Amino acid sequence: MRSSSVPPIAIVKAHNRTPLKSSSITIPSSPLPFHTLSERTHIPSHVYKHPAAVLLELCTSMKELHQIIPLVIKNGLYNEHLFQTKLVSLFSKYGSINEAARVFEPIDDKLDALYHTMLKGYAKNSSLETALAFLCRMRYDDVKPVVYNFTYLLKVCGDNADLKRGKEIHGQLITNSFGANVFAMTGVVNMYAKCRQIDDAYKMFDRMPERDLVSWNTIIAGFSQNGFAKKALELVLRMQDEGQRPDSITLVTVLPAAADVGSLMVGKSIHGYAIRAGFAKLVNISTALADMYSKCGSVETARLIFDGMDQKTVVSWNSMMDGYVQNGEPEKAIAVFEKMLEEGIDPTSVTIMEALHACADLGDLERGKFVHKFVDQLNLGSDISVMNSLISMYSKCKRADIASDIFNNLNGRTHVSWNAMILGYAQNGRVSEALNCFSEMKSLGMKPDSFTMVSVILALADLSITRHAKWIHGLVIRSCLDKNIFVTTALVDMYAKCGAIHMARKLFDMINDRHVITWNAMIDGYGTHGLGRAALDLFDKMKKGTVEPNDITYLSVISACSHSGLVDEGLHHFKSMKQDYGLEPSMDHYGTMVDLLGRAGRIKEAWDFIENMPISPGITVYGAMLGACKIHKNVEFGEKAANKLFELNPDEGGYHVLLANIYASTSKWSKVAEVRKTMEKKGLKKTPGCSLVELRNEVHSFYSGSTTHPQSKRIYAFLEELGYEIKAAGYVPDTNSILDVEDDVQEQLLNSHSEKLAIAFGLLNTSPGTTIHVRKNLRVCGDCHNATKYISLVTGREIIVRDMQRFHHFKNGICSCGDYW
DNA sequence: GGTATCCAAA
Q: How confident is the model at residue A532 (pLDDT cuts 50, 70, 90)?
A: very high
Residue A196 is given by DSSP the state: T
Whether A674 shows a pLDDT value over 70: the answer reads yes
What is the reported pLDDT for A737?
54
Rg of chain A over Cα atoms, rounded to whole angstroms, equals: 35
Gap from A63 CA to B4 C1', in Å? 34
Residues A266-291 as b/e (b if ≥16 CB within 10 A, e otherwise) read bbbbbbebbebbebbebbbbbbbbbb
What are the helix (H) ranges across A531-634? 532-544, 551-564, 567-581, 587-599, 603-611, 619-631
Gap from A319 CA to B5 C1', in Å? 9
Q: Is A804 exposed, middle or buried (0-12, 13-18, 19+ CB in 10 A)?
A: exposed
- What is the longest distance spanned by two Cα atoms in chain A? 117
Lowest mean pLDDT among A18-22, A611-615, A660-664: A18-22
Gap from A299 CA to B7 C1', in Å? 18
Q: Model confidence over A147-201: pLDDT tens digits?
A: 999 999 999 999 999 999 999 999 999 999 999 999 999 999 999 999 999 999 9
Whether A368 shows a pLDDT value over 80: the answer reads yes
Q: How confident is the model at residue A664 (pLDDT cuts 50, 70, 90)?
A: confident
Summary mean pLDDT of chain A? 88
Whether A44 shows a pLDDT value over 80: the answer reads no
Residue at shortest CA–C1' distance from B1: A148
Q: Which amino acid is at A819?
A: D
Gap from A580 CA to B7 C1', in Å? 37
Percent of chain A scoring above 70 in pLDDT: 93
Gap from A200 CA to B10 C1', in Å? 32
Q: Model confidence over A468-510: pLDDT tens digits?
A: 899 999 999 999 999 999 999 999 999 998 888 999 999 999 9
What is the reported pLDDT for A761?
93
A334 versus A631: the higher-pLDDT residue is A334
Q: Model confidence over A274-283: pLDDT tens digits?
A: 999 999 999 9
Gap from A422 CA to B3 C1', in Å? 39
Are A588 and A555 in contact by the 8 Å Cβ rule? The answer is: yes
Which nucleotide lies nearest residue A383, CA to C1'?
B8
Which nucleotide lies nearest residue A319, CA to C1'?
B6
What is the reported pLDDT for A686?
76
Which nucleotide lies nearest residue A214, CA to C1'?
B3
What is the reported pLDDT for A746?
61
Which nucleotide lies nearest residue A387, CA to C1'?
B8
Which nucleotide lies nearest residue A282, CA to C1'?
B5
Lowest mean pLDDT among A519-528, A578-587, A660-669, A747-756: A747-756
Whole-angstrom distance, CA of residue A114 vs CA of residue A728: 101
Are A341 and A317 in contact by the 8 Å Cβ rule? The answer is: no
What is the reported pLDDT for A743?
52
A742 versus A393: the higher-pLDDT residue is A393
Q: CB under 8 Å to A558, separation ≥6 — which residues?
A: A570, A573, A574, A589, A592, A593, A596
Whole-angstrom distance, CA of residue A249 vs CA of residue A17: 11
Whether A37 shows a pLDDT value over 80: the answer reads no
Q: Which amino acid is at A219?
A: I
Whether A336 shows a pLDDT value over 80: the answer reads yes
Backbone angles phi, psi at A151, to 5 degrees: -65, -45
Rounded mean pLDDT, A627-656: 89
Residue at shortest CA–C1' distance from B9: A420
Residue at shortest CA–C1' distance from B7: A350
Residue at shortest CA–C1' distance from B5: A288
Q: Is A384 exposed, middle or buried (0-12, 13-18, 19+ CB in 10 A)?
A: middle
Parallel, antiparallel, or unpaired for β A814-815 and A807-811?
A: antiparallel
Are A220 and A205 in contact by the 8 Å Cβ rule? The answer is: no
Q: Model confidence over A766-784: pLDDT tens digits?
A: 988 888 888 888 888 888 8
What is the reported pLDDT for A571?
95
Parallel, antiparallel, or unpaired for β A772-776 and A698-703?
A: unpaired
Neighbours of A433 (CB within 10 A): 18
Lowest mean pLDDT among A84-93, A102-111, A370-379, A702-711: A702-711
Q: CB under 8 Å to A530, separation ≥6 — which residues?
A: A563, A564, A806, A807, A816, A817, A818, A820, A821
Residues paired with residue A775 on neighbouring β-strands, in sequence order? A692, A802
What is the reported pLDDT for A522?
96
What is the reported pLDDT for A740?
43
Whether A673 shows a pLDDT value over 50: the answer reads yes
Q: CB under 8 Å to A432, separation ≥6 — which residues?
A: A699
Q: How confident is the model at residue A369 (pLDDT cuts 50, 70, 90)?
A: very high
Whether A26 shows a pLDDT value over 60: the answer reads no
Gap from A163 CA to B7 C1', in Å? 25
Percent of chain A scoring above 90 in pLDDT: 66
Q: Model confidence over A712-766: pLDDT tens digits?
A: 899 999 999 988 999 998 888 876 655 444 455 566 677 788 889 999 999 999 9
Whether A526 shows a pLDDT value over 80: the answer reads yes
CA A479 to chain CA centroid, nearest Å: 22
Whether A24 shows a pLDDT value over 50: the answer reads no
Gap from A282 CA to B5 C1', in Å? 11
Residue at shortest CA–C1' distance from B3: A218
Which nucleotide lies nearest residue A181, CA to C1'?
B2
What is the reported pLDDT for A389?
97
**A647 SS3 class:** helix
Whether A562 shows a pLDDT value over 60: the answer reads yes
Gap from A313 CA to B2 C1', in Å? 26
Chain B positions within 7 A of any protein Cβ atom are 1-10
A818 versus A506: the higher-pLDDT residue is A506
Q: Model confidence over A795-807: pLDDT tens digits?
A: 999 898 888 888 8
Gap from A200 CA to B1 C1', in Å? 23
What is the reported pLDDT for A747?
65
Which nucleotide lies nearest residue A17, CA to C1'?
B3
